[in-house]
Amino acid sequence: MTATAAVLMDARTGQVLYSRNAHLIWPPASTTKIMTALVALQAASLDTRIEISPHVARFREGSVVGLPAGARIPLHDLLYGLMLPSGNDVALAIAEGVSGTVAAFVARMNDEAHRLGATQTHFTSPHGLFNADHYTTAYDLALIARVAMRNPTFREIVGTRQWMFRPPVGPSRSLWNHNRLLSRYPGADGVKTGYVHQSGQTLVASATHNGWRLIAVLLHTGDEWGDASRLLAYGFTHFRSVELARAGEQLAVVEVPGSDRLIAGVVSDDVYGVVAPGEQPVRHVSLRPHLALPIREGEQVGEVEFYAAGHLVRSAAIIAAQGVASENDLQRLVQWVGRLVTHVSSGAVL
Q: Are strands 311-320 and 188-196 parallel, antiparallel or unpaired?
A: unpaired
Partnered with residue 312 across adjacent β-strands are 307
Closest CA to 285 of 263, 310, 315, 311: 315
Query: Which is catalytic among the residues 19, 45, 53, 86?
Result: 86
Q: What Rg do the C-alpha atoms of the chain give, in angstroms?
A: 26
Helix, strand, coil % (nearest 5) of the chain?
30, 30, 40
Exposed (0-12), middle (13-18) or buried (19+): which is 221, by Cβ within 10 Å? buried
Sequence-distant (6+) residues with CB within 8 A of 24 are 4, 5, 137, 138, 219
Q: Centre a 10 Å sphere on the Cβ of residue 248 and count the other Cβ atoms it contains.
A: 12
Angle (nearest 5°) at CA 6 between 78 and 241: 90
Query: Which is catalytic among the residues 19, 33, 183, 268?
Result: 33
What is the SS3 assignment for 347?
A: coil
**Residues 41-65, buried b or exposed e (16+ Cβ, 10 A)?**
bebeeeebebebbeebbebeebbbb
Is 326 marked active-site?
no
Is 33 marked active-site?
yes
15 contacts 271 by C-beta, under 8 angstroms: no
Query: Which is catalytic among the residues 19, 30, 259, 345?
Result: 30
Is 86 marked active-site?
yes
d(CA 347, CA 350): 9
By annotation, the residues acting in catalysis are 30, 33, 86
